[in-house]
Amino acid sequence: MMARKQATEALAVSNGSPKKRSSADNDNHDVKRPRLQESTDKARWRLSSEGGRHTWHYLEDDEATKEWPQSYADKYFLGMPLDLPELPKATNPLDAVRNGLTFFEKLQLPEGHWGCEYGGPMFLLPGVVIARYVTKNPVPWYYATEIKNYLFARANPVDGGWGLHIEGESTMLGTTLNYTTLRLVGVEADHPVMVKARATMHKMGGAIYAPHWAKFWLTVLGIMKWEIVNPVPPELWLLPDWVPIAPWRWWIHMRQVFLPMSYLWSKKWQAEETDLIRELRNELFVEDWNKIDWAENRNTIHPNDNYHPKTAFLNTVNWLLVNIWNPVFRTKYLVDKAEAWASELIDMEDENTDYSDLAPVNAAMNTVCCYVRDGPGAYSVRRHVERLDEVLWVNAEGMLCNGTNGVQCWDTAFAIQAIMDAGLTEDPRWRPMLIKSLEFLEDQQIRENVKDQDKCYRHPRKGAWAFSNKDQGYAVSDCVSEALKSVIILQKTPGFPTLIDDQRIFDAVDTMLTYQNPSGACSSYETPRAGQWMEVLNAAEVFGNIMVEYEYPECTTAVLTTLSLFKKHWPNHRTAEIDNFITRAVKWIKSNQKPHGGWYGNWGICFTYATMFALESLASVGETYKNSKYAKKGCDFLIAKQREDGGWSESYKACETGKYVEHPTGSQVVMTAWALIGLIKAKYPDIEPIKKGIKLIMDRQQPNGEWLQEAIEGVFNKSCMISYPNYKFSFPLKALGLFATRYPDEKVV
């Protein structure tokens, strides 16, 4: 595809990316601000996927737009009309599945997977834009324009600020960082949106009230001084492994953010001062910039940002670090040694992921570290900047930053399972779509552990799948499991090729077996390496439960149910271990049930999501409503929450507060599907409430087969929400399909 190739190259040039840019260009000290426009032409945007790597391209050349036409998926993501014909109205759940699949098939990308925007968090895009600004790789005008449009669209309609996530109230993290981002992409300070945001920011006390992560970024930009940033000493990386607080024991996301942060903190690096930075020093604060006592405000924080206030212990540690450790004991020898080791760990992370890095936060920070260490023209910087494009996404509102470099393997696995649950895997109508998705999963299986696994503290990953793609390459217990489950389902269906041989399936299972904790539960990326007490060191303020791995009913269920499926087909592989795993996992699921009968969800909102998984776990070992008090209590919990219209509706507030809270906008299709899946799996004896829920899902289906986006579905770290737009397809399809196969003769409409 010539046009695509040219477009990629054109983009590479305008992005200042490796192919054409010399280090002399990069040395240009005049950081140009992008040529901002009112809007871009949506008809010129294209999503490309190569090996599961997503990038959005803007075709400025008319010829190129003709050679590379927009696909349905492009148009759908951009919110453009699809003009699809109306489908015959579904009169039963299975026809509704067929209609849904007819639509969802159009969104499958040519490589066989599904993608989608993965927004929600409002602190990711600033990192990407700041990293590009300070490394003198300003975003091209069409990115800048759509970033402006997205942030304008997402400003709080009442006060004009930005929250931690798109549905949250304004915080200083969101407001200071997104205000700054808008200025960096070229919006003038006197624009009405900026005036309004600034007024809110000032009313909240100005940027000195921002939490640690915002203070860090604003200091890197030179808008604040390092004295306001609580210490991030890389020396911690020199602690021997046996020390209980050693960073290798922290949750992977925390330690991978701490790592580059500590490097830059240690270097006290700041970007070159520009006119814009000087202007921002005037705009972000209530007080005169020259008179701010930076050190005094290390712990100044607005209540909206203080979800997890720092402990007295951490405040004392910070005080000791600032007043005693840094001035007295932090010798040059120690600093050099710590920086060198941190730098090596950064290199290992970059090398293991080909500069994609774990997630956009550490990707942006590692980019700056490489710039500081290797200089502007270095390959490390150029490759980072190129890969940062893969977390950017364009939707109807503009350009945002995804929570990861995509949802490829995860959403593809659920799409396949939905079709299986509807009993349609053998229907030739869906075979091409399914074969393509199998081919994608085959291509994305991770074949080897990372180099120097122990040295860089990585968990084994051979045979695994990541959440997004194999470049990122981080195995997650449930991502391996859901992908493997889908592969087994398809490969065991008559007419499907065996693309992944037994040995590769055993590799995946062997890795899955490494994920069980002593309690019987599974965590996300690793088994816990320290206890919850480590939260005393949680310095980020805006999140809860971030310092170590926890135990999740969702992850535990995924591994358990996949092992059960595996066992049926390969009864002789590690039989005793698998049986033991399953027994212990089920025991843990039971012990994790809340007194009200539900389970707390960590990655989806909230009790509805986790209760679906837990009931699935119990059902997989034959425990259902009739014979298990746990399953009965779980069902009763769900039934008690069903609304008059037959649906379920839970608000993200439940994740924050730990109590079931209804969403103010009423029943949600996705949550209704989760509840129904749980009830159907648990064989809830009364079909009436189930039928009512199924009817709601069918009534909400559009004439072209799709469902519309409703409230946000996902969560992490208790306080930050994240969108899973494909869930409005995969879970309703699964619920309808399960219903249709379980009660083939029931009439719903």
Of 58 and 607, nearer to ligand LAN (C-beta) is: 607
For position 236 contacting ligand LAN by CB under 6 A, the verdict is no
Using CB under 6 A, which of the segments 57-65, 167-175, 403-411, 635-643 binds ligand LAN? 403-411
305, 411, 471, 478: which is the annotated catalytic residue?
A: 478
Of 478 and 526, nearer to ligand LAN (C-beta) is: 478
For position 555 contacting ligand LAN by CB under 6 A, the verdict is yes
**What distances in angstroms separate CA 133 from CA 10, 183, 266, 297, 693, one per listed residue?**
20, 11, 21, 26, 50
Q: Minimum distance between the CB of residue 402 and ligand LAN, rounded to whole angstroms?
A: 9
Of 145 and 417, nearer to ligand LAN (C-beta) is: 417
Using CB under 6 A, which of the segments 268-276, 377-385, 402-410, 737-745 binds ligand LAN? 402-410
Q: Minimum distance between the CB of residue 747 and ligand LAN, rounded to whole angstroms?
A: 36
For position 142 contacting ligand LAN by CB under 6 A, the verdict is no
Per DSSP, the residues of 61-112 read: SHHHHHHSPPPHHHHHHHT----PPPPPPP-SHHHHHHHHHHHHHHT--TTS
How far, in Å, CA of 385 to CA of 390, rounded? Answer: 10
511 close to 686: Cβ distance less than 8 angstroms: no
Q: Minimum distance between the CB of residue 220 and ligand LAN, rounded to whole angstroms?
A: 16
DSSP helix/strand/coil, 53: strand
How far, in Å, CA of 478 to CA of 486, rounded? Answer: 12
Per DSSP, the residues of 681-715 read: HTT-S-HHHHHHHHHHHHHHS-TTS-----S--EE
**What distances in angstroms separate CA 19 from CA 12, 198, 596, one per listed residue?**
7, 39, 59
How far, in Å, CA of 92 to CA of 741, rounded? Answer: 12
Do the bridges between strand 392-394 and strand 53-58 make them parallel or antiparallel, or are there none, so unpaired? unpaired
How far, in Å, CA of 390 to CA of 552, rounded? Answer: 29
Of 365 and 679, nearer to ligand LAN (C-beta) is: 365
Phi, psi of 89 (to 5 degrees): -60, 135
Q: Minimum distance between the CB of residue 731 and ligand LAN, rounded to whole angstroms?
A: 13
Among positions 102-141, residues that touch ligand LAN (CB under 6 A) are none
- Binder among 109, 359, 721, 748 for ligand LAN (CB under 6 A): 359
Among positions 8-67, residues that touch ligand LAN (CB under 6 A) are none
How far, in Å, CA of 297 to CA of 229, rounded? Answer: 9
For position 727 contacting ligand LAN by CB under 6 A, the verdict is no
For position 606 contacting ligand LAN by CB under 6 A, the verdict is no
For position 401 contacting ligand LAN by CB under 6 A, the verdict is no
- Binder among 716, 729, 731, 739 for ligand LAN (CB under 6 A): 716
Using CB under 6 A, which of the segments 310-318, 503-511, 606-614, 715-723 binds ligand LAN? 715-723
Cα three-residue angle 742-672-103, rounded to 5 degrees: 80
419 close to 320: Cβ distance less than 8 angstroms: no
For position 603 contacting ligand LAN by CB under 6 A, the verdict is yes
How far, in Å, CA of 6 to CA of 245, rounded? Answer: 50
- Binder among 145, 149, 230, 404 for ligand LAN (CB under 6 A): 404
Structure token digits, residue 489: 């389902």
Of 141 and 603, nearer to ligand LAN (C-beta) is: 603
Site string for ligand LAN, 450-469 (x = CB under 6 A): -----------------x--
Q: Minimum distance between the CB of residue 403 and ligand LAN, rounded to whole angstroms?
A: 3
For position 246 contacting ligand LAN by CB under 6 A, the verdict is no
For position 524 contacting ligand LAN by CB under 6 A, the verdict is yes
Q: Minimum distance between the CB of residue 717 and ligand LAN, rounded to whole angstroms?
A: 6
How far, in Å, CA of 443 to CA of 52, rounded? Answer: 9
Per DSSP, the residues of 505-569 read: HHHHHHHHHTTB-TTS-B-SSS--SS-GGGGGG---SS-SS-SS----HHHHHHHHHHHHHHHHH
Of 614 and 722, nearer to ligand LAN (C-beta) is: 722
458 close to 352: Cβ distance less than 8 angstroms: yes
Among positions 467-496, residues that touch ligand LAN (CB under 6 A) are 467, 476, 478-479
Using CB under 6 A, which of the segments 11-19, 437-445, 456-464, 714-722 binds ligand LAN? 714-722
For position 216 contacting ligand LAN by CB under 6 A, the verdict is no
E-state strands within 161-302: none
Looking at residue 683, its amino acid is K
Q: Minimum distance between the CB of residue 546 and ligand LAN, rounded to whole angstroms?
A: 6
Q: Minimum distance between the CB of residue 73 and ligand LAN, rounded to whole angstroms?
A: 21
Which contacts (CB < 8 Å, 24+ apart) does range 151-154 have?
A: 151/125, 151/178, 151/181, 151/182, 151/398, 152/193, 152/398, 153/397, 153/398, 154/122, 154/178, 154/397
Of 251 and 630, nearer to ligand LAN (C-beta) is: 251
Q: Minimum distance between the CB of residue 655 and ligand LAN, rounded to whole angstroms?
A: 12
Q: Minimum distance between the CB of residue 480 and ligand LAN, rounded to whole angstroms?
A: 10
Cα three-residue angle 123-125-130, rounded to 5 degrees: 100
Of 109 and 358, nearer to ligand LAN (C-beta) is: 358
DSSP helix/strand/coil, 219: helix
Of 175 and 404, nearer to ligand LAN (C-beta) is: 404
* Residue 645 annotated among the catalytic residues of the structure: no
- Bridge partner list, 163: 170
Q: Minimum distance between the CB of residue 704 and ligand LAN, rounded to whole angstroms?
A: 28
Interface with ligand LAN: number of residues (CB under 6 A): 19
- Binder among 554, 650, 706, 713 for ligand LAN (CB under 6 A): 554
For position 361 contacting ligand LAN by CB under 6 A, the verdict is yes
For position 707 contacting ligand LAN by CB under 6 A, the verdict is no
Site string for ligand LAN, 556-595 (x = CB under 6 A): ----------------------------------------
For position 726 contacting ligand LAN by CB under 6 A, the verdict is no
Structure token digits, residue 403: 């929570």
Cα three-residue angle 77-350-461, rounded to 5 degrees: 80
Of 317 and 655, nearer to ligand LAN (C-beta) is: 655
Q: Minimum distance between the CB of residue 70 and ligand LAN, rounded to whole angstroms?
A: 28
How far, in Å, CA of 241 to CA of 536, rounded? Answer: 19
For position 257 contacting ligand LAN by CB under 6 A, the verdict is yes
For position 253 contacting ligand LAN by CB under 6 A, the verdict is yes
The dihedral sign for the CA sequence 701, 707, 713, 714: positive
For position 691 contacting ligand LAN by CB under 6 A, the verdict is no
Residue 545: which residues within 8 A CB-CB, separation 6 or more?
A: 532, 535, 717, 718
Q: Minimum distance between the CB of residue 677 and ligand LAN, rounded to whole angstroms?
A: 16
406 close to 475: Cβ distance less than 8 angstroms: no
Of 96 and 547, nearer to ligand LAN (C-beta) is: 547
Of 496 and 550, nearer to ligand LAN (C-beta) is: 550
For position 356 contacting ligand LAN by CB under 6 A, the verdict is no
User: Which residues does the annotation mark as catalytic?
Assistant: 478
Q: Which residues bind ligand LAN (CB under 6 A)?
A: 253, 257, 359, 361, 403-404, 410, 467, 476, 478-479, 524, 543, 554-555, 603, 716-717, 722
